[in-house]
Amino acid sequence: MIKIIDKKDCCGCGACVQKCPKQCISFQEDNEGFLYPIVNETICIDCKLCEKVCPIINKLKPQELPKTLIALKHIDEKIRKTSSSGGAFTAIASKIIKNGGVVFGAQFNHNWKVIHSYTETIAGLDAFRGSKYVQSEIGNSYKEVELFLKSDRIVLFTGTPCQVSGLYNFLQKKYDNLYTLDFVCHGVPSPGVFRWYLQEELNRSANLNNKNTIPIPPIRSIPKEEIKLPKGIKIQNIYFRDKINGWKKYNFSLHLTKSLENGEKESLIFSNNTLKNPYLYGFISDIYLRPSCFKCPTKSLTSSSDFTIGDFWGQEFYFPEFDNDTGVSAVIPNTPKAKDFINGLDNVLLLQKPFNIFLKYNPSIAQSATITTAKKIIQKKFWHNIGKYPFAKNLKRSTHLSILERIFIKINNK
């Protein structure tokens, strides 16, 4: 049976939970806000199916990286502006829908939790478009994919490389009507930490200019409950990659409405770039990534996905005429059927480019997040400070290194 002793040995893909024939495995959130499987041993029959589907127990060998890949740009600028990069997902997913298929992806639910779901319409793709820098809750998506496949529907499953690997392990057979798409993954941050950050921002918004009400007190640890909207506050949208200042200088943006005392509604937009937004800064600094991300089992195209997509960073140095700072996607068709599929896409501009150009600016396709002495100190301080400070203050204090800490880091990095 699945028994997690070291947290780095679970990527949270959910394959074990969905595969268990006795439904004796469930996810439970730990004190860092990540989900881990818990087994009810009283009803477990020790069939070991959970172990057979685990991507970490059953690691595949890294694939040989390709010599070329495709630079893709959707011709619809509105789609590019609402996409993470050049609109590759929308182009691929739209073709699946037009052929009567089903598309799975990550979206916000009514409580602004990132979950996996599916759509059968072009309009439904809007919810999946754009990055969500939070580990999604997979739910029963693998079971739903299997039901659609067995009913002869074409299915596109999109997710992190470990989620794609988990799906293949869950299915335990190949389906010609299944297409999978993963992306160049830096790592997945804690859903609990994002919930903490978002609740703090919502409360701060509610406290703004409210002179006649008692202010909402700060939250000093990861809230156990779902997001609670303060009175009069509504979330209109959350953008992790808002291109208001262009693709290369994207912002995190939170769009809210606030009901005023006179009955009118005020629009509030909080937007700042990666280095100034505390949540994004903590994410790119690897402070609250899932432990397994520091030894990812699905790097170097190991997930067996049909397509791998990512941002074609650095394109301005090699083919600047291809973009106007609204985004360029890199697409790696990993299988013969993916190559045929790409060649038949509508509404896109394609260029074949050397893979080494892409790799230079996207090392995460082959390398896991690194854990340095400095990161260990910062991570330890961040988790230790939970209960003492609100999220933003905790992050600021944790990333401020004392002289002694700097000396210790310098000595240990020799």
If pLDDT is split at 50, 70 and 90, which confidence band does 212 have?
low
Digit-coded pLDDT (tens) for 307-347 = 999 999 999 999 999 988 999 999 999 999 999 999 999 99
Q: In this structure, are residues 383 and 300 in contact, taking their beta carbons and an 8 Å threshold?
A: no
State residue 260's pLDDT score: 83
Q: In this structure, are residues 119 and 95 in contact, taking their beta carbons and an 8 Å threshold?
A: no
State residue 211's pLDDT score: 72
pLDDT at 210 > cutoff 80: no
173: helix, strand or coil: coil
Q: In this structure, are residues 136 and 108 in contact, taking their beta carbons and an 8 Å threshold?
A: no
pLDDT at 351 > cutoff 70: yes
Give the DSSP H/E element, type plus range, for residue 107. Answer: strand 102-108
Between CA 74 and CA 89 the distance in angstroms is 10
**What dihedral angle (degrees, nearest 10) is formed by the CA atoms of 26, 32, 33, 36?**
-20
CA angle in degrees (0–180, nearest 5) for 125-367-108? 25
CA within 13 Å, CB half, 221: 11
User: Residue 174: what residue type?
Assistant: K
Digit-coded pLDDT (tens) for 95-133 = 999 999 999 999 999 999 999 999 999 999 999 999 999
Between CA 122 and CA 293 the distance in angstroms is 33
Q: In this structure, are residues 305 and 184 in contact, taking their beta carbons and an 8 Å threshold?
A: no
Give the distance, in angstroms, between the CA of residue 350 and the centroid of all CA atoms in the same chain: 26
The closest of 180, 191, 187 to 337, measured between CA atoms, is 180
Digit-coded pLDDT (tens) for 365-385 = 999 999 999 999 999 999 999
**What dihedral angle (degrees, nearest 10) is formed by the CA atoms of 50, 51, 53, 56?**
130
Give the residue-averaged pLDDT of 77-91: 96
Digit-coded pLDDT (tens) for 168-186 = 999 999 999 999 999 999 9
Between CA 65 and CA 62 the distance in angstroms is 9
Q: In this structure, are residues 29 and 192 in contact, taking their beta carbons and an 8 Å threshold?
A: yes
- 408 φ, ψ to 5°? -60, -40
Report the predicted TM-score, pTM, of the whole model to 2 decimal places: 0.95
Between CA 355 and CA 22 the distance in angstroms is 45
String of DSSP letters for 16-60: HHHH-TT--EEEEE-TTS-EEEEE-TTT-----HHHHT-TTTTPP
